[in-house]
C-alpha cells in the first residue's frame, strides 16, 4: 500500500487530534490536575462585591488596626486594646483547597493565636471578617509560612 501526500496529511491530522484528545481526557479525569474555582459560588460572591469593599474601607479607616504577626509559635492576630470583635478568620491555601479552614475569633489578651501545627509551609491568604460596635470590617492578608 502506497501512502501519497494526501493520505499522509490525513493520518498526521488524525494522530494530532487523538494526541490532543488524550491529554484533554487525562486532565479532566485525573484528580492530580484539580481545576476547581477559587470561590465555589463565584457569581453569588460577585454580587456582594460592593459590600465587601465597604467593609475593607471600614478596616482601612481604623486608627488602630489589627496586625498579623508570623513567628515560631504560629500566626498571631493582635487586635487593639479594649475591642471585643466577633467574627471569623478564614485561611485559604491557593495550591490546595483541602487545606482551607476557618477559626472563630475568640480573644485572650486581645490576641488570637493560630498554631504553626495547623499550617503547612507556603503561601496562605487570610480573610478576617469581624464586627465591633455594630460595624463590619474585612481585612485581607497574605502570609508565607516557612
CATH code of residue 102? 2.60.40
Q: Are residues 75 and 140 part of one domain?
A: yes
Closest CA to 89 of 43, 73, 79, 144: 79
**pLDDT tens per residue across span 1-60:** 788 999 999 999 999 999 999 998 888 887 776 666 566 676 777 778 888 899 999 999
Q: Are residues 31 and 49 part of one domain?
A: no
- Rounded distance between C-alpha atoms, residue 129 and residue 126, angstroms: 10
Q: Are residues 67 and 26 part of one domain?
A: no
Output the pTM of the full model. Answer: 0.69
Provide the domain count of the chain. Answer: 2
Q: Are residues 133 and 64 part of one domain?
A: yes
Q: Are residues 71 and 48 part of one domain?
A: yes
Provide the domain limits for residue 83. 42-145
Close Cβ partners of 134 (under 8 Å, ≥ 6 residues apart): none
Rounded to an integer, what is the distance from CA 92 to the centroid of its chain? 4
Amino acid at each position: 500500500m502506497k501512502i501519497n501526500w494526501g493520505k499522509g496529511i490525513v493520518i498526521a491530522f488524525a494522530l494530532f487530534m487523538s494526541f490532543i484528545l488524550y491529554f484533554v481526557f487525562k486532565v479532566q479525569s485525573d484528580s492530580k490536575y484539580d481545576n476547581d474555582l477559587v470561590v465555589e459560588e463565584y457569581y453569588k460572591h460577585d454580587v456582594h462585591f460592593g459590600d465587601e469593599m465597604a467593609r475593607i474601607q471600614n478596616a482601612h479607616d481604623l486608627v488602630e488596626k489589627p496586625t498579623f504577626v508570623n513567628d515560631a509559635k504560629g500566626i498571631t492576630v493582635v487586635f487593639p486594646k479594649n475591642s471585643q470583635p466577633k467574627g471569623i478568620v478564614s485561611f485559604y491555601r491557593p495550591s490546595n483547597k483541602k487545606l482551607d479552614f476557618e477559626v472563630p475569633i475568640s480573644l485572650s489578651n486581645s490576641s488570637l493565636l493560630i498554631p504553626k501545627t495547623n499550617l503547612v509551609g507556603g503561601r496562605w491568604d487570610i480573610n478576617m471578617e469581624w464586627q465591633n460596635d455594630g460595624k463590619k470590617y474585612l481585612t485581607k492578608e497574605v502570609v508565607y509560612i516557612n
